[in-house]
Structure 1
C-alpha cells in the first residue's frame, strides 16, 4: 500500500499524543514552529495535520489564540421523520427537536432580497424576484450543530402579517400555519440530501475547518396546487451530527 502523505502521518502522531494524555482537553498545543521542529517537518505540514484533526473534532482553532485540544463532544443524531411533519412551530423547531435534545437558535430575516438563479428555479419565480431570506444558526449546549437559510417568495406574503417567519404575531408558527393564515394549504415537503464540504462562511458559523465534510439538505415546501412556497438549505457537519431518515412502512 502507498505510504501516507506526511501531513496524515503527523495527524496520527498528534492524535496519539492526545490519546496518551500528553495534552488534555482545553490544553493549547505548542506553536507550529515548535511542533515542526519536534516532528522534523515544515510548518505547512503541521498546519495541514491540524486542519485534519480540527475537521474531525479532535482539535479546535481559536482565532488569534492558537490551536487547542477540543473538549469531548457527543455526536448527535438528527432524525428526519415523515411522522414529525410540522405540527407545532417552525421548520427550525422541528429541526431542533430532531436532534433528540433541547436546543436553541438564532435567526435573522431580510426582506426583498433578489432570488439568485438556483433559488429562483427551486421556487418557480423569475431570477431576481424579491424573496424573504432568513438565516438560522442552531445550537445545542451553546455549541453550533447546523445552519440553514430559508427563502420565501416575497410576492406570496407581502402586505400580510406573516411576511417574516420569525417576526410579527405569527413568529415561529411555521410555514404550514403561516401559509394557512393567508389561505394557502401546504401539502408536502421534499428533502434532497447530498454530501459536501464546508465553505469559509459555513466553517466559521459551525466551528469547523473549511472543507470539513458536511451533509447539505435541500428542503422545499409545496402548496396543494404544487407550487413551491418555501425552500431552505440546511448544512449539517458530519463530525457533529448523523442524519437518520424514518420512513413509514405501508402494509
Structure 2
C-alpha cells in the first residue's frame, strides 16, 4: 500500500484533536508554524491539511485572523423562483425565513461606474456607459452564504428615489419592486448557472477553501418592453448551499 500523503495524515491529526474536544467550535487553532513544529512537517503540509478540512466544513478560515474550528453548519436551501418575489420586503429574507434562518446582507454601492464589456452586452448598452454597481454579501444567521454583484444602467434610475438600491425609501426590496416604483414592470428574468472554482477573494469572503466549487449564476431582469434593467453575477458556494429551482406552472 502506498504511504498516506503527509497532508492527509496531518488532517487526520487535526480532525482527531477536534473530536477529542481539545479545540471547541469557535476556537482559533495554533499557528501553522506551531502545528508544523509539533507534527514534524513543513508549514505547506499544514496549510494543505487545513484547506482540506475547510472544504469539508470542519474548519473555517477568516481573512487576516487565522483558522478556526467551525460550528456545525447545515447547507442553506436557496430557492430560485419568480414565485418568491414579494409585494414588499426582500426576496432573500423571505427565502431565509422559509427555512428558519435570519437573512441579512452587507452592501456597497457606487454610481456612475463605467460598464465593462460583458456587462454592457448583458444590459444592451455601450461599453463604458455609466452604471450603478452594488456588491452584496448575503448572510444566513450572520454567516456569509452568497455573494452578488449587481449592475443597473444609470440613465434608467438617475434622478429617482430608487437610484441607490440600498438607499432611500425603497431600499432593500428587490429589483422587481423597486422598478415598479418608477413605472417599469419587470416581466421575467434569465439565469445562466455554471459551476466553477472560487477565486481567492470569493473564498476569503465566504470562509471557504480557495478554489472550492461554487455555482456562478448570471442573472438578467427584463422589463415587459424587453429592456434589460439589471444584471447580476451571483456566487453560491456548494459546500454551504443547495440551489433549488421552483418553476410555477401556468393554468
Q: TM bucket by the smaller chain?
A: 0.7 to 0.9
Q: 1:43 to 1:135 in 2, by over 3 A?
A: same
Conserved? CA contact 1:79–1:244, under 8 Å: yes
CA RMSD of aligned residues (A): 2.5
- State the match for 1:12 in structure 2: 12
Moved more, 21-30 or 99-108: 21-30
Displacement of 1:46 in angstroms is: 0.9
Secondary structure of the equivalent of 1:83? helix
Equivalenced residues, count: 248
What CA deviation, in whole Å up to 9, does each residue of 1:154-186 have, x standing for no partner? 121122222111222332333223323333221
User: Alpha-carbon deviation of 1:134?
Assistant: 1.2
User: 1:137 aligned to 2:137?
Assistant: yes
TM-score by length of 2: 0.86
Name 2:155's counterpart in structure 1.
Answer: 155
Aligned counterpart, 1:122: 122
Counterpart in the other structure of 1:47? 47
Unaligned runs of 5+ in 1: none
State the Cα distance separating 1:17 from its structure 2 match. 3.4
Equivalent residues in 2 for 1:193-212 (5 A)?
193-212=193-212
Report the equivalent of 1:25. 25
Matching residue of 1:95: 92
Matching residue of 1:74: 74
Q: Which whole-Å CA distance do the structure 2 matches of 1:4 and 1:243 have between them?
A: 35
Deviation of 1:77 after TM superposition, in Å, equals 1.3
Match of residue 191 from structure 1: 191
Q: Residues 63 and 204 of structure 2 are in contact (CA less than 8 Å); yes or no, is this contact kept in structure 1? A: no
Equivalent in the alignment of 1:236? 236
Given that 1:80 and 1:98 are in contact with CA atoms closer than 8 Å, whether structure 2 keeps it comes out as no
Residue 33 of structure 2 aligns to a residue whose secondary structure is helix
